[in-house]
């Protein structure tokens, strides 16, 4: 696969991406309804037009998901995940342009969801077209456009994962980042999470005779300092992942205040621990 050729093609698609973004924004997929069926129709029509394999998956008829697939020559698969739903627009009179107009002006696409994340969805659609037009690609790429991301993914990514529809070797989250549209970046993201519940058992006693009891809360309090020490445990990254971590940090160093960069660096290399309720 010729990477330079792909990048050159991608650079020439700015107008196409803008037009697709505008088209996506015109569909009101805001919560509390969060309906994405019309957005899916739009994406499907584009895929069908360009001969891109696609499937619609829906746990709810009005809240649909669609995957666009470009098959590769190996069994390995890259999954791109984005979302079509958006947060409410607030007061329309406060917008420079109507929130669902998809107006293209001043070098931007204006409207609810243009940055979070219908612009990224449009770019993914064009990316699928470019890869589909290649003679061959080494790995299969699936572009998943999902619903319900803004409210926990119940009919979207969560349902797709629980039903075994998400299967791949690498996952790329297409959501935007703090760099903005003119300073895009690829970051190593979520380290994963684990919830741990510590249980201590004791024996109640009257307040006047605490020595006759066995205070379970006191036992748990003794464990708090040890839980907090986990935050200083340096993660052991796989060798092929470490350069991505370092590269992500270096990218932001020049534009990040020193104190914030120090905190960000700590979060990249160590677990984040929260001790909630005793």
Identify whether the C-beta of residue 83 lies closer than 8 Å to the C-beta of residue 145: yes
Residues carrying an active site annotation? 85, 149
How far is CA 9 from each of CA 6, 87, 235, rounded to the nearest angstrom?
A: 5, 32, 39
- Among candidate residues 52, 121, 110, the one with its CA nearest the CA of residue 85: 121
Between CA 174 and CA 122 the distance in angstroms is 11
What's phi and psi for 251, nearest 5 deg? -60, -40
Count of beta carbons in the 10 Å neighbourhood of residue 257: 8
Taking the C-alpha atoms of residue 156 and residue 153, their distance in angstroms, rounded to an integer, is 5
182 alpha-carbon distance from chain centroid: 19
Torsion over CA of 200, 202, 208 and 212, rounded to 10 degrees? -140
42-67 as b/e, with b when 16 or more CB fall inside 10 Å?
bbbebbeeeebebeebbbbeebbbbb
How far apart, in whole angstroms, are the C-alpha atoms of residue 123 and residue 21? Answer: 8
């Amino acid at each position: 696969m010729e990477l330079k050729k792909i990048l050159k093609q991608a650079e020439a698609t700015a107008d196409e991406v803008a037009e697709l973004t505008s088209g996506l924004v015109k569909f009101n997929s805001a919560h509390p309804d969060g309906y994405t069926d019309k957005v899916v129709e739009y994406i499907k029509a584009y895929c069908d037009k360009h001969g891109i394999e696609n499937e619609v998956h829906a746990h709810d008829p009005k809240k649909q998901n669609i995957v666009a697939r470009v098959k590769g020559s190996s069994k390995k698969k890259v999954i791109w995940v984005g979302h079509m739903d958006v947060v409410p627009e607030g007061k329309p009179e406060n917008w420079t342009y109507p929130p669902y107009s998809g107006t293209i002006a001043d070098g931007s696409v204006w409207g609810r969801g243009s940055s979070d994340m219908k612009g990224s969805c449009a770019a993914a659609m064009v990316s699928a077209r470019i890869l589909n037009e290649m003679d061959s690609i080494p790995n299969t790429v699936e572009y998943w456009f999902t619903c319900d991301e803004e409210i926990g993914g119940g009919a979207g990514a969560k349902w797709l994962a629980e039903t075994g529809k998400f299967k791949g070797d690498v996952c790329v989250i297409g959501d935007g980042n703090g760099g903005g549209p003119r300073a895009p970046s690829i970051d190593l993201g979520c380290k994963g999470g684990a919830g741990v519940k510590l249980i201590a058992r004791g024996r109640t006693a009257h307040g006047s005779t605490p020595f006759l009891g066995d205070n379970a809360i006191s036992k748990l309090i003794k464990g708090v300092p040890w839980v907090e020490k986990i935050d200083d445990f340096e993660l052991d990254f796989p060798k092929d992942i470490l350069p991505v971590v370092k590269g992500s940090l270096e990218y932001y160093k020049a534009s990040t205040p020193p104190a914030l960069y120090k905190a960000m660096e700590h979060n990249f290399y160590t677990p984040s621990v929260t001790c909630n309720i005793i």
